[in-house]
Amino acid sequence: MSMSQSQQLPVVTAILIVVGTLLSGCSVPYYWQATTGHMRIVRAREPVAELLQRDDLSVELHERLEVSQVALKFAHDELGLPDNGSYTSYYDTDGLYVVWNVFAASEFSLEPRTWCFLVVGCIAYRGYFSESKARKYADKFAKKGMDVYVGGVAAYSTLGRFRDPLLSTMLQMSEADFAGLLFHELAHQQLYVHDDSAFNEGFATAVEAEGQRRWQRAQGITANARTAELAGQTQQVMALLNSTRAQLARLYESDIDTGRKRARKHALFAELNMNFAVLVESWARDDLKRRPYSGIFATGLNNASLGAIATYADYVPAFEQLLEKCAGELECFYARAADLGDLDADTRREHIKELLAVAGESP
């Protein structure tokens, strides 16, 4: 799934659940909404090559579609990412998200709940093609006292099993963000490990970031002050989030009574919101225009949304370290990442922790 940093999470994508429901034991209504939602897009999508020949196409959309195909060729030729015909067709979402993902976590746990499907394995969210259905499903967990988060996504992947279309929500991003998102989605086709969302998203996000750097160099775009400012802002927010997560983890592992634990949890989230507000004020004083993560703060942070952020962010430094060990050679990087993916879950986690330690990150 994907959305801009100011709206929800940074580039976030969804593995299309219809891939799993086709052969899994999901309920018939869920299977039906996933299948019909995807098929609605399949039937309405249009080949990009044909769209580019139309005289009535807006100049802006024409330019965006042209860039999309250049970025796609770059992904295949320069990044070595798979070519199965994905992103050569286009679907207009009419400005709306096409998929909404539900995240959930227990009241006193940062571990996201997972949902399991036969083809894609267990993943840390459940996707719906309807916001109302996603929120109705999330309410079931909220009524049980769990923390929930529902986020709209701008893109999804069928892991190469179908020819995924470009969505208009993808093209609404800046060129660099869109290119990165495209690389992220194709990275899921390059490597996907069952039952390990953090691994899959960490790998795809690392490919996205490296792909963006190479794409910008190829386009003659040098890193400007605004790019550096946004990176610095993002690091500031992540420092706040990681500090709060560490405090929450210690709290949840403690043996204090439930009432005191609940009160302390609320206090920690209130403190996080206050610290973020102070940070935003400092950005305003420095005349910084971007507000990374402001959307997800506005929805009210909880264990589920922290878990969603962690799923996409925690392992990225490990994969960046792996790329460094490969001296930036992507073929080597993909092979080394695939080797990690072949390990059993516990051994893989230990190797990731070692890479994080070398990168200077807390496992």
Tens digits of per-residue pLDDT, 305-322? 999 999 999 999 999 999
User: Stretch 191-200: mean pLDDT, rounded?
Assistant: 96
327 pLDDT tier (thresholds 50, 70, 90): very high
pLDDT score at 312: 93
Q: Is the pLDDT of residue 71 over 70?
A: yes
Amino acid found at 338: A
pLDDT at 118: 76
Residue 311's pLDDT is what? Answer: 94
The bridge status of strand 166-167 relative to strand 89-91 is parallel
Answer with the residue of higher pLDDT: 160 or 51.
Answer: 51
Cα–Cα distance measured from residue 330 to residue 334, given in angstroms and rounded to the nearest whole number: 6
Indicate whether 266 pLDDT > 90.
Answer: yes
pLDDT for the residue numbered 220? 83
pLDDT at 288: 86
Buried b (16+ CB within 10 A) or exposed e, 199-229: bbbbbbbbbbbbbbebbbeeeeeeeeeeeeb
If you average pLDDT over every residue of the chain, what do you get?
90
Taking CA atoms, 339 is separated from 6, 157, 244, 332, 333, in Å, by: 35, 22, 33, 11, 10
Domain ranges across the chain: 1-314
For 77-90, how does the pLDDT look when each residue is reduced to its tens digit (9 = 90+)? 999 999 999 999 99
Nearest residue to 318 (alpha-carbon basis) of 233, 215, 199:
199
Answer yes or no: is pLDDT of 226 > 90. no
On the 0-12 / 13-18 / 19+ scale of CB atoms within 10 A, 278 is exposed
* Average pLDDT, integer, range 26-39: 81
